[in-house]
């Protein structure tokens, strides 16, 4: 990354921090729905990394701590979990949850995932659930995870896969851009929701960071909610890039955009509620 790109990346991260600070409560309020949506893929990440009693785990972009608590339960009091995130406001929710659960073996640290600054070779596993795609330089994020791992340790990330397998995200983005009279965006653009969904990209990034035995598994993870309205409520309460696109519009234009989005997302209504198709990539790498 050259100096101009580096400056751009820092500005991007400041904006991301502000957005996640602002939406920390909204994300945390949806904890139960997120937990149900991501239960199986989270379980798979923990199993792939071989996380068990006594393990030391680095949780990158931990957010409100959904996966942190699950990992803390697995590693038990002889283990350790360091939950890190760019946003202090969202990480406070993780800290409070760990305190309430009585998990003295969980610590939190506000840190950019591209510069976590933990001691080298100090963790058995590193995970990052739905965070790495937001990094302007995901290769640096993976290099940090690699550096933190002990030889023999595993890293696992969860990101969204290709646009066609995640139609709700594509519909949100295309409809918002249309109402904002903005040109279409490259779905794989840096720091975007689908930025790591390009086939083969995340494996290459893991390998370049030094990981061996890299393997990506596609996981079907439909988002099941009572209605499309519930999904929109979730989107409005997360730091979705859609909010930045629609933010500057006049209220009537914004309302029209949300109405069209809701109508289009209504296509995923089934006799058993709303089922938003969603595909995730779980990538595992091993530090030799
Ligand atoms: C979609 S949330 C996921 C949170 C949590 N891992 C979960 O699955 O519930 C994305 C998180 O990534 C964090 N994030 C974004 N950019 C980051 C960066 N450069 N370094 C660390 N965290 C970052 C945000 O603050 C936010 O908490």
CA atoms within 13 A on the CB side of 50: 10
Which pLDDT does position 79 carry in this prediction?
Answer: 98
Which pLDDT does position 237 carry in this prediction?
Answer: 87
Q: Comparing C-alpha atoms, which of 126, 67, 123 is closest to residue 98?
A: 67
- pLDDT band for position 180 (50/70/90)? very high
Q: Which atom of ligand 1 is nearest to the CA of 158?
A: 8
- Residue 250: other Cβ atoms inside 10 A: 8
- Which residue, by CA, sits nearest to atom 1 of ligand 1? 130
Residue 232 contacts by C-beta under 8 Å, 6 or more apart in sequence? 258, 261, 262, 265
- Which region among 141-150, 222-231, 236-245 has the lowest average model confidence (pLDDT)? 236-245
What number is the average pLDDT over the span 121-145?
A: 97
- Which residue, by CA, sits nearest to atom 15 of ligand 1? 134
Cα 192 to chain center, whole Å?
Answer: 11
CB distance 90 to ligand 1 below 6 Å: yes
Residues 218, 236: Cα–Cα separation, whole Å: 27
pLDDT tens-digit map of 35-47: 999 999 999 999 9
């Amino acid at each position: 990354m050259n100096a101009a790109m580096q400056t751009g990346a820092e500005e991007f991260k400041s904006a991301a921090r502000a957005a996640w600070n602002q939406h920390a409560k909204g994300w945390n309020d949806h904890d139960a729905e997120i937990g149900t949506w991501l239960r199986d893929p989270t379980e798979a990440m923990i199993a792939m990394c071989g996380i068990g009693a006594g393990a030391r785990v680095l949780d990158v972009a931990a957010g409100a701590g959904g996966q942190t608590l699950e990992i803390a339960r697995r590693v038990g009091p002889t283990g350790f979990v360091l939950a890190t995130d760019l946003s202090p406001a969202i990480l406070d929710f993780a800290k409070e949850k760990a305190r309430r659960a009585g998990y003295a073996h969980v610590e939190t640290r506000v840190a950019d995932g591209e510069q976590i600054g933990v001691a080298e070779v100090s963790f058995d596993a590193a995970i990052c659930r739905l965070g790495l795609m937001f990094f302007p330089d995901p290769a640096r994020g993976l290099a940090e995870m690699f550096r933190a791992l002990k030889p023999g340790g595993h890293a696992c990330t969860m990101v969204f896969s290709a646009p066609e397998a995640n139609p709700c995200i594509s519909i949100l983005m295309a409809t918002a851009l249309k109402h904002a009279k903005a040109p279409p965006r490259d779905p794989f653009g840096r720091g975007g929701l689908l930025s790591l969904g390009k086939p083969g990209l995340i494996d290459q990034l893991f390998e370049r960071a030094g990981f061996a035995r890299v393997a990506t598994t596609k996981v079907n993870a439909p988002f099941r909610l009572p209605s499309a309205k519930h999904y929109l409520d979730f989107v409005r309460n997360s730091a979705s890039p859609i909010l930045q696109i629609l933010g500057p519009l006049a209220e009537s234009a914004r309302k029209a955009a949300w109405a069209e989005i809701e109508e289009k997302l209504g296509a995923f209504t089934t006799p058993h509620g709303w089922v938003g198709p969603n595909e995730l990539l779980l990538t595992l790498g091993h530090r030799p």
